[in-house]
Amino acid sequence: VDGEPFAELSLTARSGDPLGSLVLHDSAVAERVRSHRTWVVLRGDVGAGVDVEPRMVGMVNGVRRELAIPAGGASRGTVALAAFRDGITHIAGGFDHMVFLWELLVAVPLVARGGRWSVSTEGVARRLFGLLTAFTLAHSATLVLVALGLVHVPGTLVESWVALSVLVAGLHLWRPLWPGREGLFAAAAGLVHGAAFAEGLLGSGLSAGELALPLVAFNGGIEVAQAALALGTLPLWMTVASRPALRRAVAGAGVLAGLGWLVSLWS
């Protein structure tokens, strides 16, 4: 679908089985890759006399592997709630996104002086707000553009850019590369991460109208998870930033993780 590999599975009810609500259990990939998710789209329901445009009915992932599909499909509220939860679990289960966010957060209290980092608590709230806002606006834009099919970027290239952003953020955390311009870097990286967020909605065949609610809810879940991570771990990343040895450990881990992901993608 859209140049990416996909799998199609046809299920046939046994003769004599009642045709009503069904429960979909999907563990083929999710039990091995917890960040994997499968959006379920209803294209028709012969028993309920439904033959309309495709519409989303829910999702399964590494945390929730079963989806109850009522006859006639799920309500829009159920779909929105599933998308919102998926946004939260996507951040919680996406190790690459978590590492990148942590690199951004640890850099918030840092100010470059003489080519080296020093800690300044003055204006931390303003810098944190600016950084998260830049990242949010950028990834929201590409999330919408890619999910609606208006922009297409090969999946391997997207994942490579995500890995590269983790690597570069680690280098910047070790020694300032663009002091005072972290917001611009967060926005540029957000464009890449937004394309990665949208991958699960590609090839669904849904119209823009059907995608609108899941997109908004999914993006809302991502923002809630990011805000919870930033505020909930504030004392921790402030401590890491204030201790050079810990900061360099986080920076080095980010560089190695990004490099490792790049090698695994292209080897």
Q: Is the pLDDT of residue 260 over 90?
A: yes
User: Which has more confidence, 134 or 13?
Assistant: 134
Mean pLDDT, residues 118-145: 89
Residue 175's pLDDT is what?
Answer: 93
Please report whether residue 159 resides in a domain. Answer: yes
Take residue 36 and report the two structure tokens written for it: 């994997």
Residues 6+ apart with CB under 8 A from 38: 26, 29, 30, 59, 60, 61, 200
Query: How distant, in Å, are the alpha carbons of 49, 67, 177 from that of 26?
Result: 26, 9, 45
User: Which has more confidence, 179 or 4?
Assistant: 179
Q: Is the pLDDT of residue 197 over 80?
A: no
Please report whether residue 104 resides in a domain. Answer: yes
User: Which has more confidence, 203 or 29?
Assistant: 29
pLDDT confidence bin for 74, thresholds 50/70/90: low
Query: Is residue 189 within 8 Å of 100, Cβ to Cβ?
Result: yes
Please report whether residue 164 resides in a domain. Answer: yes
Please report whether residue 156 resides in a domain. Answer: yes
Q: Is the pLDDT of residue 256 over 90?
A: yes
Range of the structural domain that residue 129 is part of: 95-266
Please report whether residue 57 resides in a domain. Answer: no
Signed CA dihedral, 183, 102, 221, 95: sign only: positive
Q: Is the pLDDT of residue 140 over 70?
A: yes
Number of structural domains (the chain) is 1
Please report whether residue 4 resides in a domain. Answer: no
User: Which has more confidence, 57 or 167?
Assistant: 167
Please report whether residue 15 resides in a domain. Answer: no
Q: What is the mean pLDDT of the chain?
A: 80
What is this structure's pTM?
A: 0.75
Q: Is the pLDDT of residue 95 over 90?
A: no
Please report whether residue 75 resides in a domain. Answer: no
